[in-house]
Amino acid sequence: MPMPNLNIYQEEFHPSPLVQTWFEFRKSHIAVLGMWLLAFFVAMVIVGPIIAPFDPLLQNPNAFLVKPAWDVSGSIRHLFGTDSLGRDLLSRLIYGCRITLGISFLLVLLSMLVGVTLGAIAGMTHGVRASVLNHLLDSIMAVPTLLIAIVIVGILGIGLVNTMWAISLALIPQFVHNTREVVRAEMQKEYVLASKLDGAKNFHLFFYCILPNMYEMLVVQGTMALSIAILDISALGFIGLGAQPPSPELGVMLSEGLKEAYKSPWLIALPGSAIFLMVLSVNVVGDGLRSALRNRLSS
């Protein structure tokens, strides 16, 4: 007869903060659905060139404006149809998501790194320099990021690389502003004052005392910046200031599809839907993470 498995030590299971956040996050079915949708787009970024059936720039003179496969006159060879130059629309959409979302991730990470660093310095310093920086940031924050990006692109010149620099520079003030406000608020709290009395330097205060309490702000601001970056890259490509044809960027695809919108509405419906679903998934996941972090901290 087997011996019963007795637990002598009555220990309680305390999940890690990351596990607790996941438990709170998965309570929202909409957030989980948004996570799977965002994971799908991320998979397009990673394995896009492997699963794309055709070269996105390959032109087929025998397949101009082929209708999607769900249409009666469509072809299964081109699942989403082709454009006016005979290029496979599914392949262009896969590469378009890869360009738009992949570049947006890189821009947000770069802007967050620079913005949080400058915001921490601004929040921990006082005097004339801090005052000038704060007033300058408040003035820049009043201007829409897309307008800032258009001005910077007008100075640097059109093209995808200049668009990337422009959007990064436009997003940095938002991270600086929010980080500065959080750091200033946390610097007045008792646990930070106690660490300062123990001789902790600003570097130690920020990384070990303040930064762990900034996760909610970084999640909210990061997801907001990611959706702004996706829209700005697409908008600049649409008006001809960003990526240039024949690049399979989603904004460029929208701009090219307008010429044939009446005869082939799928040319604007499909890339437009991709942009919409991409931004929607980012916002839903960001809102779910914010709620999960807030619930974990309050429990």
Q: What would the pLDDT profile of 151-203 be if each residue is shown by its tens digit? A: 888 888 888 889 999 899 889 888 988 888 888 888 888 888 888 877 778 77
- Give the count of domains, the chain: 1
Domain membership of residue 11 (yes or no) is no
Of 85, 68, 97, the closest CA to residue 249 belongs to 97
pLDDT score recorded for residue 97: 92
Whether the per-residue pLDDT at 298 is higher than 80: the answer is no
Residue 223 lies in a domain: yes
pLDDT at 128 over 70: no
Q: Does some domain include residue 41?
A: no
Residue 210 within a domain? no
pLDDT tens digits for range 181-191: 888 888 888 88
Q: Pick from 116, 95, 100, 243: which is nearest to 173 by CA?
A: 116
Q: Which domain holds residue 282?
A: 100-177+217-298
Give the pLDDT band (50/70/90) at residue 8.
low
Question: Quick check: is 19 in a domain?
Answer: no
* Terminal C-alpha separation, the chain: 44
Is 60 part of any domain?
no
Could you tell me the two tokens for 76? 């299964």
According to DSSP, residue 214 is labeled -
Which phi and psi angles does 7 have, rounded to 5°? Answer: -100, 105
Residue 248 lies in a domain: yes
Calculate ∠ Cα 209-212-217, nearest 5°.
Answer: 125
Predicted model pTM: 0.88
Assess if residue 111 is contained within a domain: yes
Contact by Cβ (8 Å): 145, 170: yes
Q: Given 3-state DSSP classes, what are the helix, strand and coil percentages for the chain, each rounded to the nearest 5?
A: 70, 0, 30
